Structure 1
Amino acid sequence: MNVNVARADLAEMYTRMSRIRAFEDAAMAIHASGEIMGPLHTSHGQEAEIVGACMALRLDDYMVGNHRSHGHPIGKGAALRGLMAELLAKSTGVCGGKGGSMHLADFSVGSLGETSIVGSGIPVAAGAALGARMQGLDRVSLCFFGDGATSEGAFHEGVNMAAVWHLPVVFLCENNGYGITTALSSVTLVTDIANKAAAYGIPGVIVDGQDVIAVYEVVMTAVQRARRGEGPTLVEAKTYRYEDHAVNMGRNLGYRSDEEIAEWRKRDPLHLFRARLSGEFDFSEEDLEKIERAAIDAVEDAVDFARKSPAPFAQSAFTDVFA
């Protein structure tokens, strides 16, 4: 692998990965206490593919996520206060306390929103890319979705439209092997999601989703291709989520073995990248601990901010609605 990443970008990658892990550790604890209402979907184990992909974008590029939604805006560089306040349904949340865990958006960093409807972000990302072209902008749209979304009609419709119109989109499938509790092998005979790209006449690339630099390089190639007007790419990141589909469900659904989870935990993306930073890239232990401590401090600040923030005012129920 030809590694050519600036030292400052390597530090930023580890910062964002550490922020995602610390944010979701805190969110899990708060959710368990009942302070966060509704389901909570975490991306423990998927931090590398999120950050690697987002780091290949410019700040003004678009990003569309999915129901596993905290990691994506953090990966795109969103501030933590508004995200945590949104989880706690506070007026200072990025969506005014109306969106909650599965519906985060932060336009200031190009995060157009997450959605709980599987696959629905794919045509949204294509639409954002079309809008950029119509405005004469060279923005690229990155779309995250899970392996289960590739069985939805929206996947075919969005990818096909983007391919035919050569839209500047990077479609990134977070293949963690399961759609909730259903193994990918039981719903499709295609072993590699990237192979589906051939049906649309676009490149399909497989990458190790636990390797943040590998993801960065693959997505950067796709972004550059898109920005040149050469159309979309389908990237499949082979990854794994350590927690259940939604955390704190209170029951063992038995669809994965302890041995399988343990094997994937040996390839924890934060541990792999930390070891690489301290070895290949000569980051000191002090450097790395400083990044980790700063991430925890930022999350603690966000939690404190969210708890002190007011609930939405009654009149806000009538804003941001169409009828």
Structure 2
Amino acid sequence: MTTFHAAEQGLAGLELMAKIREFERRMPLLSEEGLIRGSTHPSLGMEAVAVGVSLALRDDDAIASNHRGHAHTLAKGADFGRTMAEILGRADGYCHGKGGSMHIGVKELGVLGTNGIVGAGIGIATGAALASKMKGEDTVAVSYFGDGASNQGVLAEAFNLAAIWNLPVIFVLENNHYAQSAAIEDMVAQIDLSRRGEAYGVPSFSGDGMDLAEVYELASAAVARARAGEGPTFLVLDTYRYLGHMAGDTEIYRSADEVEAAKANDPIEKLLGQLIAEGAITADEWESMSARIVADVEAAEQFARRSPFPDPAEAFTDVYAKETQG
């Protein structure tokens, strides 16, 4: 198993998690201001999953995300300004404003798209893994989905195909315990979701999705298996979202005490404490890093606000991929 190093993955992960959180913190405010068309789904509290997995990936690896996909996209290397512009529906966004919050794709980074259809990314990532194998490449594909999506039939189909075809795909279940407003305990009789992968012959592991080091080491092992031709892996990572399912959620399905209790296991604070204890960073250095992060995300937001709206004449451009002559 690849070992987590405080001075390498630790510091990089801390900065990226904090930057993603500052980015996501602004989403409800931008929604209230009327700058985001439709819904947006922040992932405050869940940053360790996206960052921990991405630290184990290469630039040419692929990911397929879901409606709560900003963190996955940013962790894979997307520019914060262009991502923000896309969420605001602006021309400088990665999809020229046509994808919005739930449908961001970044081809050059292997981001095959966030997706508003629950569970849709599972099949997309499995297909990308099949393409990698057919081409004789050593790239891997990652599918991010939640506990609610684990009840979609496509997961069973993807598990089976990935196992019998030995595909280099990693299924990452972010178990934040709620599918919109339904608790996982009310939706399934067997709450040990890792057993679903085992039933299809997919090596399955559960881990603390609020611990960057644990996520990184589990993801690294899964990536190594995939690159070595040993097939798929299923990771069930226990995490928690601090905000509602979407901006404006009343959150009547859970108590404020429950949310505060979850924050006691905050991934950023946990990692920061570890890094300070190991001498990888000081309190003063963290304060400087935090100020720089806020300034960087503020610059990204201002870039997005200044970006123009796309020309209506371009409504039908970038809709279909152009055929290339071989």
Question: TM-score surpassing 0.5?
Answer: yes
- SS of structure 1 residue aligned to 2:131: helix
Does the 8 Å contact 1:122/1:159 carry over to 2?
A: no
When structure 1 is superposed on structure 2, of 40-49 and 105-114 the one drifting more is 105-114
Structure 2, unmatched stretches of 5+, are 322-326
Q: Give, in whole Å, the separation in 2 of the partners of 1:183 and 1:226.
A: 32
Q: TM-score, normalised by structure 2?
A: 0.95
Tell me which residue corresponds to 1:168.
168
Q: Give, in whole Å, the separation in 2 of the partners of 1:32 and 1:220.
A: 39
1:78 aligns with 2:78: yes
Does the 8 Å contact 1:106/1:113 carry over to 2?
A: yes
Q: Give, in whole Å, the separation in 2 of the partners of 1:136 and 1:125.
A: 17
Q: Give, in whole Å, the separation in 1 of the partners of 2:266 and 2:181.
A: 21
Does the 8 Å contact 1:67/1:102 carry over to 2?
A: yes
Does the 8 Å contact 1:180/1:245 carry over to 2?
A: yes
- SS of structure 1 residue aligned to 2:236: strand
Does the 8 Å contact 2:6/2:280 carry over to 1?
A: no
Q: Give, in whole Å, the separation in 2 of the partners of 1:200 and 1:223.
A: 19
Tell me which residue corresponds to 1:183.
183
Q: Amino acid of the residue matched to residue 121 of structure 2? A: G
Superposition RMSD on alpha carbons, in Å?
1.6
Tell me which residue corresponds to 1:88.
88
Alpha-carbon offset, residue 285 of structure 1: 1.8
Q: How big is each residue's C-alpha offset from its partner over 1:173-195, in whole Å with a ceiling of 9 and x where there is no partner?
A: 00011100011111111121111
Tell me which residue corresponds to 1:263.
261
Q: 1:297 to 1:225 in 2, by over 3 A?
A: same
Alpha-carbon offset, residue 159 of structure 1: 1.8
- SS of structure 1 residue aligned to 2:148: helix
Q: Give, in whole Å, the separation in 2 of the partners of 1:168 and 1:280.
A: 35
Q: Give, in whole Å, the separation in 1 of the partners of 2:219 and 2:10.
A: 16
Q: Amino acid of the residue matched to residue 282 of structure 1? A: A
Alpha-carbon offset, residue 291 of structure 1: 2.5
Q: Amino acid of the residue matched to residue 246 of structure 2? A: A
Tell me which residue corresponds to 2:108.
108
Alpha-carbon offset, residue 289 of structure 1: 2.3
Q: 1:221 to 1:202 in 2, by over 3 A?
A: same
Tell me which residue corresponds to 2:235.
235
> Aligned pair count?
321
Does the 8 Å contact 1:16/1:77 carry over to 2?
A: no
Q: Amino acid of the residue matched to residue 289 of structure 2? A: I
Tell me which residue corresponds to 1:305.
303
Q: TM-score, normalised by structure 1?
A: 0.95
Does the 8 Å contact 1:173/1:235 carry over to 2?
A: yes
Tell me which residue corresponds to 1:13.
13
Q: Amino acid of the residue matched to residue 114 of structure 2? A: E
